[in-house]
Structure 1
């Protein structure tokens, strides 16, 4: 497994395990299986409704807690200083952990939903900075933040976000956001790396899969990783979990990377951080 080092010194695997929609027994079992196969970065969120299952899967796995990096997220309706402190306490309790490795603001406040969205984000961030200083969070970051949201946040932040988790996949990878974050030393993490299934059947990706004797999924994950972006594919299938891990024995050429970069838009979720709850 390859790693990247965040701006706070913490190392995270380039490939982690997503748990979106993995609830109930399936959630527990998938986390157990992922850890058994060697995943050490787990991604959940308060909104996913499965923090209890993720925590139980960790406990049942027998893997030492210090070997596992757990990410969870503050939902957009719980922003603000006091609300953030309470939401974090709730997540910590549901996970059954003593600390959280990575805590992210899931979506930024925006002008459509808050009179003073800049202050709302700043207040949530201040609470997270305090929780980090207390040792309850190792790394703090954001998710789905555009440069306009980060510019505002950085005016008052004492800690620069270590990570920005964004929609990033062939057909929609937000290069302007990526370039901005790289300039600020903020690592990027990809969600929805398979474009909600739209990558399957795409001729270029199918041809590259055949050429490299890999699957389309593996081509997409490799493309993300070669952008120096971490990625958290989700699967409840043991075979697919193993397939997703098997992307470190080949490389895409510069020409192949560029060709994927220039694929037309596909698989875009329609989610925009300055428009929620509406979709485009």
Structure 2
């Protein structure tokens, strides 16, 4: 399994499987088992889906050693206080029946739309995560949807820099300035929603030619694009064949001309959001 290395030395698998909300509990559990079976080791469970017990069942059913998995969860926007973070992490650990999380993220930042003290609120939240990191309950800590001003606030005032920033990244939304800032400070970028433009792109002749050239699906090409962009894409599906397909992206790389085409591709339906002055869009 290919990995990337966080600046604290921890290895993170180069692709992740998001465990999404599913009203069919058995299907949700089986999707986790299948993801592990095909090779996924990076499993992301959003606190917002309140599916910790299902994740625990899936992990048990897989029989796979906990220490060989990379488990991630996050803090939702209504939990931004020092004690809320502490309670949230303890609750997640209890539900997952584990002693630690490999990565824990602030899902959304407080920003200027939340008042003049947005920066202090983010720092209070972050300090709780630093303490839990030093206690060993969190082996890596990071953020989601943080713009440069949000990151600067932590980088300049906290003891520990974020190790990960999860962003919406895909053709049409490559967030170049923000990715460059993250690279400068050794912050790994995860890509949520990497398949967003799939239905638009599939109509283009150039894309159909790519699929024939690589003998891959469009989903696989988009995931490979993210990996070639040096981000860690997160996939999700409850369907067996798609789970298998989404993992099968390690045996090819995009040629430069195809990579450049996807990197420069633009469409009015896909634009970078303004996370500086208002709450970011509700993305994973």
Within the alignment, does 1:86 sit opposite 2:80 as a pair? no
- The answer for unaligned runs of 5 or more in structure 1 is none
In 2, the alpha carbon distance for the partners of 1:278 and 1:251 equals 31
Contact 2:198 2:218 (8 Å CA) reproduced: no
CA contact (8 A) 1:162 1:185 kept: yes
Is the 8 Å Cα contact of residues 199 and 267 (structure 1) preserved in structure 2? Answer: no
Matched, 1:189 2:190: yes
For residue 239 of structure 1, report the CA deviation from its aligned partner: 0.8
> Residue in 2 aligned with 1:275?
278
Deviation at 1:135, TM superposition (A): 0.7
* TM-score, length basis structure 2: 0.92
Name the residue aligned to 1:127. Answer: 128
| Counterpart Cα distance in 1 of 2:142 and 2:18 | 17
Alpha-carbon spacing, 1:254–1:196, altered in 2? closer, same or farther (3 Å): closer
Q: How many residues align?
A: 279
- Which residue of structure 2 aligns with residue 210 of structure 1? 212
Separation (CA, whole Å) in 2 of partners of 1:269 and 1:85: 35
Counterpart residue number, 2:166: 165
Deviation at 1:155, TM superposition (A): 2.0
Q: Does the 8 Å contact 1:198/1:266 carry over to 2? A: no
Partners of 1:194 and 1:217 within 8 A in 2: yes
String of CA shifts for 1:5-59, please: whole Å, max 9, x gaps. Answer: 1111111111111113345333211111111111100011111222221122111
Distance 1:19 1:197 in 2: 20
Quote how far apart the aligned CAs of 1:271 are: 6.1
TM-score between both structures, scaled by the size of structure 1: 0.93
Offset, 1:137: 0.6
In the alignment, the residues of structure 2 paired with residue 141 and residue 199 of structure 1 have an alpha-carbon distance, to the nearest angstrom, of 32
- 1:93-172 maps to which residues of 2 (within 5 A)? 93-172=94-173
Alignment partners' CA distance in 1, 2:200 and 2:170: 9
Cα deviation, 1:234-270, whole Å, max 9, x if unaligned, reads 0111111111111111111122111101111366488
Distance of 1:117 and 1:12 partners within structure 2 = 30
1:251 aligned partner: 253
Partner of 2:61: 60
Question: Partners of 2:15 and 2:222 in 1: how far apart?
Answer: 12
SS in 1 for 2:93: helix
Aligned mates of 1:103, 1:10 — CA distance in 2: 13
Counterparts in 2 of 1:191 and 1:80: CA distance versus 1, 3 Å: same
Runs (4+) off by over 6 Å: none
Task: Check conservation: 1:17, 1:42, Cα contact below 8 A.
Answer: yes
**Alignment partner of 1:155: what SS?**
helix
Question: Aligned to 2:139, what secondary structure does the other structure show?
Answer: strand
> 1:182-220, CA deviations, whole angstroms, 9 ceiling, x for partnerless residues?
111100111001016435524133321121111101110
The equivalent residue for 1:223 is 225
Q: Contact (CA 8 Å) 2:172, 2:271: kept in 1 or not?
A: no
How many angstroms apart in 2 are the aligned matches of 1:101 and 1:74?
14
CA deviation after TM superposition for structure 1 residue 111, in Å: 1.6
Partner of 1:2: 2
Give RMSD over aligned pairs: 1.9
Q: Tell me the SS of whatever aligns to 2:253.
A: coil
Tell me, which stretches of 5 or more residues in structure 2 are unaligned?
Answer: none
